[in-house]
Chain A
Amino acid sequence: MATSRLFTNLDQIFILLRNWLVDFLPAALRPAAGIVLGVITIVCLFPGLFALTTVFERKGLGRIQNRLGPNRVGPFGFFQPVADGIKSLTKEDIVPFSANAVVHFLAPLSLVVAVFMEFAVLPMGRNMVLVDLNAGLLFFFSMSASTELSVFMAGWSSRNKYSLLGAMRAVAQMISYEVVLLLSSVSVVMIAGSLSLPKIVDAQNSYTGIFPHWYIFTPWGLAGFVMYAIAATAETNRSPFDLPEGESELVAGYHTEYSGFKFALFFLGEYLAMFAISGLGTTLFLGGWSAPFSFLTFIPSWIWFFSKVMLSIFVFIWMRGTLPRLRQDQLMNFAWKFVLPFTLLNLFVTALWRFMGDGWMRWVVCTVILAAAYVLMGRLSMRNEHFGPRRYRYAE
């Protein structure tokens, strides 16, 4: 009895801590103070996680590429982000002479603010959500959509052709893949029957035997998750979809003309977007903060959430170290000719799943439809596309 009480307290430790701190204040200020504390936690926690991730990414990439990675600052190079942070803070902030100074300044700021807003609706543990909005998923997507404009602002205001090209690529890519991101989430909404993210987690938080009811363990959920993961990689401009910052052609893409702290803000925004989109994917398909087996439920819920997020981050890094970059036309063709039709089909399959009732029939039907579509669209129609080595039309 005492141990279960201990585990419940450990599970809710941040909530208890918040309540304890808030109780020092007069009753009228308590709700506002609770929200302020939550905001402070988010604003401190995720940049910290970002610093940690940059080390892991550089070490991991080094491991994949058979080299050491950073190993000078601190034990095993773990204080590298501190050095990087001091460097970017003390660097001179250069604004190009012909740049549009106001827009140039506002772009990184609005990007980071919009990305931070996305965390407000993510449930990071049992009861651990800043605001449980009725339309939480819509809020998340509206915030992630408004980052596109910041990218454009950055690229346009720099008055540099590489920046502008990078920004146009980034915006075109983000718009194309955002449609997929939204549509693959809609299938979850159809089954869970709610746009509120805590309710979506609750809908997955039950077990058959020891196995959980996560949406990824259904045919439509698996297909939706794969589509979501592809779209999320493209949405955060990560390799193999990192054309907007393709170093070999565009210097650094839309943040070519940024230096010092503003560049650090872009870097931060990119990683925060990665955390947010992994967090949403975890919430929608991987059961959010629920445990993977029923006998592991005693481990605090927030540990599960953050382990799942870090696992997806690891997959991002793995893909970056493994896959070569796509070409722009391949990227667009892939989005509009394969991913989007497949996601639309997945919506239909989800509706079938919803209305066929319980039983093994729906498993067979849904799996067969999705597998057939994958073979037809992905294998047969892509066979005609030549994904071979690049042919140089003018250089030869």
Chain B
Amino acid sequence: MNALFYLLAAITICGGLAAVMLKHLVHCALATTVAFAGLALLYLQLDAQFAGFAQILVYIGAVAILIVFAILLTRGADLPKEGVFSSTWFVGLVIAAGVFAVLAWAVLESVRALPQHNAVPAVTVHDIGNALVGRYVLPLEIVALLLTAATIGAVIVAMHEKERPKP
């Protein structure tokens, strides 16, 4: 546990909190980006270089852009009159707090029982590539299929519908 970890954790958590609490939707999307970047740095801190860079590439480079595009396409940039929080917000908050309490209790209770291996794993991109086409080749193929299906699906869902006469 060092200062860097606390700093990165604070950035991530603040980004996440801002993302769900800010009023303006575009600000929320930008705050999410901060959380994503903090997580990528945490991955780097955990010696997972490949996953960290993939996180930046996919989340900041693609998902965040998708989100802001969706916000602009749905006119989400204007503030709604009824307020931004749902009518049952209190219940949601209680559920989230409960989930966090249970998770934190479980972590603190069980982590002592886990053996700790602090040795830095020497994993290169080469190993990851070999694992992807060796041990994990079936998941890789399935992900490829899923991504193709998702691309086609997203295009079809968001495509302009043909004008049909309204009844």
A–B pairs, 9, beta carbons within 8 Å? A103-B30, A135-B53, A135-B125, A145-B62, A146-B61, A149-B30, A168-B69, A175-B62, A195-B125
Chain A, interface size category, equals 20 to 34
The answer, among B26, B49, B72, for a CB contact under 8 Å with A135, is B49
Give the shortest distance, in Å, between B26 (CB) and chain A (any CB): 6
In angstroms, how far is the closest chain A Cβ from the Cβ of B155?
Answer: 11
Question: Do the beta carbons of B126 and A149 come within 8 Å of each other?
Answer: no
Residues of A within 8 A of B26 (CB): 156
User: With an 8 A cutoff between CB atoms, is A245 at the interface?
Assistant: no
- Chain A positions within 8 Å of B, measured between CB atoms, are 103, 133-135, 138-139, 141-143, 145-146, 148-149, 152-153, 156, 164, 168, 171, 175, 178, 193-196
Chain B residues within 8 Å of chain A by Cβ, number: 22
Which residues 117-162 of B have a CB within 8 angstroms of A?
Answer: 124-126
Q: Residues of B at under 8 Å CB distance from A?
A: 26-27, 30, 33, 49-50, 53-54, 56-57, 60-62, 64-65, 68-69, 72, 77, 124-126
B57 touches A141 (CB 8 A): yes
Where chain B touches its partner, the secondary structure class is helix
Contacting pair A149 B33 (CB below 8 A): yes
B125 engages A134 (CB within 8 Å): yes
> Could you tell me if B57 and A138 are in contact, using CB atoms closer than 8 angstroms?
yes
Measured CA separation A139–B49 after assembly (Å): 9
8 closest Cβ pairs, A-B complex:
A145-B61, A142-B56, A142-B57, A138-B53, A142-B53, A146-B60, A135-B125, A195-B125
Which B residues are CB-close (under 8 A) to A138? 50, 53-54, 57, 125
* Cβ–Cβ < 8 Å partners of B30 in chain A: 103, 149, 153
Nearest CB of A to B89, in Å = 26
Separation in Å of the B41 CB from the closest CB of chain A?
Answer: 12
Cβ B61 vs Cβ A142 within 8 A: yes
CB distance from B55 to the nearest CB of A (A): 8
Chain A residues within 8 Å of B125, by CB: 134-135, 138, 194-196
Residue on B nearest A193 in the bound complex, by CB: B126
Question: Contact between B68 and A152 (Cβ–Cβ < 8 Å)?
Answer: yes
Q: Which residue of A lies closest to B68 (CB)?
A: A152
Interface centre among A142, A149, A156 (most CB of B within 10 A): A142
Q: How far is B33's CA from A14's CA once the two chains are assembled, in angstroms?
A: 38
Whether A145 pairs with B57 at a CB distance below 8 angstroms is yes
Contacts known (A134-B124, A156-B26); A145 close to B50, Cβ less than 8 A? no
Chain B residue nearest to A164 (CB atoms) is: B72
With A and B bound together, what is the CA distance between A149 and B68 in angstroms?
9
